[in-house]
Amino acid sequence: MTRTPRESVGNERSHVGIVALFLAMLGGCGALPAPPAVTGAVEFQEMRFTLPAGQWERSPGSPPSSQVLFTLGQEGGRTQTLSIWRVSYPNDMYGLAPEVHTTNYWNYEQYEKPRPSGPWVRFERSKRTIAGKNYPIMTYQWHYPGASNPKAEAHGIFLAYFPDDFRGRERFYIFQWTDVHSPGAKQQGWEWLDQVVASFTVSPVANR
């Protein structure tokens, strides 16, 4: 039986926040309060990274969340979202290879996680090369409110990041990039994810 790594509460909240963002974009709910705009270098807990150019809006996780969400509105109602969170797991899972953790996590997202806003489809698992390093990814699509006559579509990608000192810290990080657009539009934005991942670092375990 697949064992699912424990996620932070913040990741569950992030999906709720993204759905609310979709609805606001489509006029399905009232205007959301404007989060603070963010550009350039970002620090969040032990994570350090640089956002692509643009006026990103940050929705910080509430303690003890280990997740942070950014959104970027674009012309034509298009929206890019970036979420990053830390994945921890029970002590008896220490020592497992990154490939095992990745498979467990992809299985959880694809087969086990509830999707109250509608099913996610067309999952594909592969690797993505960024700055000379290979990272495991899983892509998917999402339609609102359904595939038959959607008002909006989304292309999404999960990326698993294992730090060089992964064996010493026994935790890894998930990036989720979502491109929300009008039905039939071509996917965009994943090259920006490459920039964020290439800039991403975490502080040493002793300094957490």
pLDDT at 23: 46
Confirm whether 34 is domain-assigned. yes
Domain count, the chain: 1
Q: CA 8 to CA 120: how far, in whole Å?
A: 21
Confirm whether 108 is domain-assigned. yes
Confirm whether 35 is domain-assigned. yes
Q: CA 86 to CA 11: how far, in whole Å?
A: 9
Of residues 66 and 168, more confidence is placed in: 168
Cα distances from 62 to residues 11, 19, 91, 128, in angstroms, run: 11, 18, 25, 31
Contact present, 81 and 177 (Cβ < 8 Å): yes
Residue range(s) defining the domain that contains residue 31: 6-207
Residue-wise pLDDT for 9-32, tens only, equals: 445 444 445 555 554 444 443 343
The CATH number of the domain holding residue 197 is 3.40.1000.10
Confirm whether 16 is domain-assigned. yes
Confirm whether 110 is domain-assigned. yes
Residue-wise pLDDT for 155-206, tens only, equals: 999 999 999 999 999 999 999 999 998 888 888 888 999 999 999 999 987 6
Confirm whether 52 is domain-assigned. yes
Q: Determine the Cα angle at 192 with ends 140 and 149, to 5°.
A: 35
Q: CA 192 to CA 196: how far, in whole Å?
A: 7
Confirm whether 130 is domain-assigned. yes
Contact present, 80 and 74 (Cβ < 8 Å): yes
Confirm whether 1 is domain-assigned. no
